[in-house]
Structure 1
Amino acid sequence: MTDSAKKPPSNGDDTSCRTEEQQQKVLSIQILFTFNKIDRIPYDFNSILFQINEVLALISPIPDKLAAKHYSNESISRYLISQKWNVQKASKMMNESFKWRLQYKPEEIRWEHIAYEAELGKIYRLNFEDKQGRTVLVMRPRFQNSKSIESQMKYLVYCMEKAIMNREEMIWLVDFNGFTASNISLKLARRTTYILQNYYPQRLATAILYDPPNIFEPFWKVT
């Protein structure tokens, strides 16, 4: 396998030959593409599964408690999409993501670990979803109440983990009303971008900014 993505020979995409399980798998992948506003799946079903299996052969094993969620077709497809269907790059990205999860343990962050960060409601999840069933996170930077970058990132990761629980994507609604430069650091913005891009690829569907300052334009273009 070369570094560039390969498209294997197609055997056609005859839906009448698929088992019920196969139909469910391709439907889930089609939904993922719809969420990501991709007009059509670039390869037929067999070609997509071929690339997913290639990734599976290259990624490192992870504990069973993470395998069901992070070895799914949907999960692997997100990494492939983010890397433009390059199997080598997607596999490397997944391995780095797994390494981060095993070290950072985002699924073990509990409310008591981030309660102080949440006191003023600078990030909260709406109790309803958008029309496409996506979780909406509201962010209000003016209520920043912490100086610790590590603590702030732990809170953000906690909120994202909750937002994508049983969901493919999330929406960010960022209210900059009353924001001042003292409310957030560029280091925090860079860390947020890095984590979102590398460990939660294709999870942020839309970021809606209300009254954003000019200083954040480059940051949001990247994400």
Structure 2
Amino acid sequence: MDSPPDEASAIKQFQLLMEAVDEPLKTVYEIVHQGYPKETLARFLKARDWNVPKAHKMLIDTLEWRMQNEIDSILMKPIVPSDLYRAIRDSQLVGLSGFTREGHPVLAVGVGLSTYDKASVNYYVQSHIQMNEYRDRVVLPCTTKKFGRYIGTCVKVLDMTGLRLSALSQLKLLTVISTIDDLNYPEKTETYYIVNPPRIFSACWKVVKPLLQERTRRKVKVLQGYPKDELLKIMDYSALPHFCRGEGSGSSSGSDNGTVDDCFSLDHTFHQQLYEYIKHQALLVDSSLVKQGSVHVTFPEPEPEDAKIAKDIESELLSLGDSKNGLVGVMKGLNLSGRWKGLF
């Protein structure tokens, strides 16, 4: 259910509830909505199927989570030294490659080749939240101003190149990140494009897809083969993620495209601007903030139903195995649990 017939009424009810919250929460709420309260309320309503009490609780929980974890100041806390941040960028493959013709930021994610093995969980979570906040507080307001109309969502291109069973060992971290997004940054993605999906992804998708809400399923497009032609319908060539530009071009931090085209690299314009912005914000407040140490954010607990989802995925993957590819043996060494739905 994207929106009910009485959408305006639901938003009005929600507005009245938000007018009654304490002043500290109102201050945090202003940072969240960035001058577009109605659009923000609509996002939370969509995430809770337009149930006003549930959407209100979700937003209040988000505001309290932000206060408890000092999320409003997270863009003042750079990850230093730069070598550590570079290692994170090389192992957590995420970047902004450009914008669609409608003005939506194109966020690329190297799902298959991300290793998450160069730093602690806290650093990866910190980096992820910082990109979320930079997107919401800097990137989206800028593109909204440029296009003269509200733009509050992005397009994500998820590259499955290199996806292997060994990647499931990072499921706990992915669970944390996706649950944080589910609960605190709802309805921020316009469309998910899945590119270069291997057989393993297909097995997982077979289990997960029926469990997704209809509005989410409509957002996901799995592109077989080379995705360039499909993506060029909504963006110019210059905005294509580097792994979509030519045959056999999978996501890799060591791309031959170098510092300009590889949107995962710390040397890419987006990451340079993001990193410099965070360091500058820190210096504006207090130069002593530029010190080594990760930000510790409370991790939400995964939902109980996720254990069943993971078991179903495990069974599906086992059905693909045989003695030749060793899949069964690998699966026996994995303990699957996590919020697979949250990846979308």
The answer, yes or no, to whether TM exceeds 0.5 is yes
1:136 counterpart letter in structure 2: V
Equivalent pair of 2:11/2:41 in contact (CA under 8 Å): no
Which residue of structure 2 aligns with residue 130 of structure 1? 100
In structure 2, relative to structure 1, the CA distance for the partners of 1:106 and 1:209 (3 Å cut) is farther
Which residue of structure 1 aligns with residue 202 of structure 2? 214
Alignment pair present for 1:174 and 2:158: yes
SS of 1:205's partner is: strand
Cα distance in 1 for partners of 2:191, 2:7 equals 27
Cα distance in 2 for partners of 1:117, 1:53 equals 40
Which residue of structure 1 aligns with residue 110 of structure 2? 140
Which blocks of at least 5 consecutive residues in structure 1 are unaligned?
Answer: 1-36
2:31 counterpart letter in structure 1: K
In structure 2, relative to structure 1, the CA distance for the partners of 1:111 and 1:221 (3 Å cut) is closer
Which residue of structure 2 aligns with residue 77 of structure 1? 42
Cα distance in 2 for partners of 1:137, 1:56 equals 31
Please state how far the C-alpha of 1:41 moved relative to its aligned partner.
6.1
Equivalent pair of 2:105/2:155 in contact (CA under 8 Å): yes
Identity of aligned residues (%): 17
Give the alignment of 1:49-64 within 5 angstroms: 49-57=11-19, 59-62=21-24
SS of 1:133's partner is: coil
Please state how far the C-alpha of 1:73 moved relative to its aligned partner.
1.9
In structure 2, relative to structure 1, the CA distance for the partners of 1:94 and 1:63 (3 Å cut) is closer
Cα distance in 2 for partners of 1:211, 1:183 equals 16
Please state how far the C-alpha of 1:221 moved relative to its aligned partner.
7.9
After TM superposition, the runs of 4+ consecutive aligned structure 1 residues lying more than 6 A away are: none
CA RMSD for the aligned pairs? 2.9
1:135 counterpart letter in structure 2: P
Corresponding pairs, count = 184
Which one of 163, 166, 172 corresponds to residue 135 of structure 2?
163
Please state how far the C-alpha of 1:150 moved relative to its aligned partner.
2.4
Return the TM-score normalized by structure 2. Answer: 0.47
Q: Which protein is bigger by CA-based radius of gyration?
A: 2
In structure 2, relative to structure 1, the CA distance for the partners of 1:49 and 1:65 (3 Å cut) is closer
Return the TM-score normalized by structure 1. Answer: 0.68
